[in-house]
Amino acid sequence: SNNHIYVGNNKGLLEYNGSAWKLYPSYNSTIIRSVKVIENKVYTGFYMDFGYWERDENGVFQFHSLVKELKLELIEDEHFWNIEARDEWILFQSLDRIYMYNALDSAFTVIDFQTTRAKIFNLNDGIYVQKQGEGLFAIRNGSLEIVSDLDVFKADLIIGLYEWEDL
């Protein structure tokens, strides 16, 4: 909403206001692998942690670790490659799990989901993920439901999923 650009890199969170960059160093000195802006918070995922940046009373971004706040036990060497939002839920995806955080009441759900590529497809009718060798799944009520086990969803790497109107 402020027309700024936010980018993660190996030093931290970068904010670009149209004329200058500002760096907010990663609090655990690791590469920020995913960034998602939702309202006034910038959610980030990186090695062994994820959470959000929010401005303090001086307008400076401060990082809030959801992993520490919620006392989550992560898998050893876990990286968070993707962040997606759906209604009040924020989804953080690693190659082993999808962590679902409810931004309204801080509820948390963890879905074990091993994959070779962290990609969530957020369409009008729901959230979808592909697991090679098994098919296309929807996330509904905090769990996975198979949508299609067609060979194309089992064998091929899906890079985009779009809604299609029958013309």
Q: How far is CA 131 from CA 95, 119, 152, 157, 162, in A?
A: 11, 10, 11, 9, 17
pLDDT at 167 over 60: no
**Contact between 44 and 32 (Cβ < 8 Å):** yes
Of the chain, the percentage scoring pLDDT greater than 70 comes to 99
Q: Residue 113 has which token pair?
A: 């989901």
Encode pLDDT of 96-155 as tens digits. 999 999 999 999 999 998 888 889 999 988 999 998 899 999 999 888 999 999 999 999
Q: What is the pTM of this model?
A: 0.91
Average pLDDT, the chain: 92
DSSP letter string, 37-54: EETTEEEEEEBTEEEEEE
**What is the average pLDDT across 75-81?**
94
Q: Pull the structure tokens for residue 148.
A: 């299609």
